[in-house]
Amino acid sequence: MFDKALLSLKDEMIQALCTNLRIQSDAQPPEEGKPNGPGVARALEHALRVAAQLGFSIKEVDGHAGYAEYGEGEEMVAVLGHLDVVPAGEGWQHPPYAGIIENGRIYGRGTTDDKGPMFAALFALKAIKDSGLPLRRRIRILFGTSEETGSADMAYYSTHEELPLAGFTPDAKFPVINAEKGILNIWFIKEFSDLEEAAVALNRLQCGSALNMVPAQATAELALHGQVIQVKTSGVSAHASRPESGQSAAAPMLDFLSHQDLPLTMQDAFAFLAYSLGQETLGENLGLAMEDEVSGKLTINLGMLEADMHQIRGGLNIRYPVTASKDLVLSKLSASLYEGGFDIESITNTPPLYVDESTELVRILMDVFSKKTGLDLSPMSTGGGTYARSLPNILAFGPQFPEQSDLCHQADEYVEIPYLIKTAQIMASAMYELAK
């Protein structure tokens, strides 16, 4: 219904997306009216400016969010996505903030997560608007600004703005995700005092840049025999919801440090972490192994680690099954860490999400996907924490197709232009079905 219109909008969509990709919008220290830093604020300002140029009413929600809206009616349905991104990290062959097009691909941080699908949604709404088809409900394209750092944006939005009757977020995979694991972010610590004499001292250890990324780099600075040396280890970054698809740089670093002539207490601590967390992704060595039929196995990621002669401090990202209890996970984890001499410093929890596949929202989205692709699939679960949990009545719907590799949070993130158009076409049909 909207396919031809979106093909005619392709060049304009690509230009708008590439412009936004050139704005570095990872979280930075807040400024007045810019709660997630100036880069995120510029990305939001640009998206709203494009929306206004397309003829939509727009609103900025105190720097925390913004939206474009079309249609009339008391009820509103929404497409929810985010313009903030994770840090670029290492290993890029294409500049992460240049919006480069090469061989039919658009490269840049955010092309799949989540700028690409959000500009696809915006131009999908333009196709609906241009069609002139009657709608019973308003459609809102809702731009968030802090999905990658805890979704405080939607907490603010929820207390200041209208909530959607239903909707979706293109923040994961097709066809529909109706089950999302619970997410625990945990910082643990071990402090040292009165360490015994040793030939080697650890001046600094730094590994990882975000809890929800498998660390690709680790650096340690050691002092020995009057000299200072620097040691680096490398890995392969991946999203923490699928840590098995990456290779942690923490593992070889922990193994290395556990065999250095550091104070024995430190050696033991590093040896414990190397065994229990190194390349561990299922929590087995911490007694955390568990799974259910709906969402699969628990996963664990040592996303960040820092240390010196005073302390070792690390951050874990744990994705636990939808039928599991966070209290059970925490009790097992705290007992295991205590055995290694570590204490839990802080905990944040995002509860699991599960919506039965017989509900109307699931059925509508599944029907649209089936008709547009010819694929007969079932709703799925994920270990990823999508934006669906940040507002009620929202499910994850796209943008990754079953045949595509997952590029979220990885170096040389890209979107293939035909898939960008295909995503826009599917979202246009989904928005129309929810709003008509």
- Among residues 19, 8, 7, the alpha carbon closest in space to that of 101 is found at 19
- Among residues 314, 382, 374, 391, the alpha carbon closest in space to that of 354 is found at 382
Half-sphere exposure of residue 243: CA atoms within 13 angstroms, side-chain side: 28
Catalytic residue among 69, 113, 147, 171: 147
Active site residue 26: no
> Does residue 76 sit in helix, strand or coil?
strand
Give all strands (DSSP E) within 145-297, no chain letters. Answer: 166-169, 172-173, 177-180, 182-191, 200-207, 217-224, 227-234, 291-292, 296-297
User: Mind listing the domains of the chain with CATH numbers?
Assistant: 3-180+353-435 (3.40.630.10), 183-350 (no CATH)
Place of tokens 């660390």: 215
Burial class (CB in 10 A: 0-12, 13-18, 19+), 393: middle
The pLDDT, as a whole number, for residue 285 is 96
Q: How far apart are the C-alpha atoms of 190 and 307, rounded to whole Å?
A: 9
The pLDDT, as a whole number, for residue 384 is 75
H helix or E strand, kind and range, residue 67: strand 65-70
Inter-residue contact 211 to 314 (CB < 8 Å): no
Using DSSP bridges, classify how beta strands 177-180 and 353-354 pair: parallel, antiparallel or unpaired.
Answer: antiparallel
Active site residue 12: no
H helix or E strand, kind and range, residue 258: helix 250-258
**What is the longest distance spanned by two Cα atoms in the chain?**
78
Chain centroid to CA 225: 44
pTM of model > 0.85:
no
Interior angle at CA 117, CA 115 and CA 121, nearest 5: 115
- Give pLDDT tens digits along the chain (436 positions): 899 999 999 999 999 999 999 999 999 999 999 999 999 999 999 999 999 999 999 999 999 999 999 999 999 999 999 999 999 988 999 999 999 999 999 999 999 999 999 999 999 999 999 999 999 999 999 999 999 998 999 999 999 999 999 999 999 999 999 999 999 999 999 999 988 889 999 999 999 999 989 999 999 999 998 899 999 999 999 989 899 999 999 999 999 999 999 999 999 999 999 999 998 999 999 999 999 988 999 999 999 999 999 999 999 999 999 999 999 999 999 999 999 999 999 999 988 999 988 999 999 999 999 999 999 999 998 887 788 999 999 999 999 999 998 888 899 999 999 999 999 999 999 999 999 9
Q: How far apart are the C-alpha atoms of 248 and 316, rounded to whole Å?
A: 13
Q: How far apart are the C-alpha atoms of 216 and 321, rounded to whole Å?
A: 26
Residue type, 26: D
Catalytic residue among 84, 113, 148, 180: 84
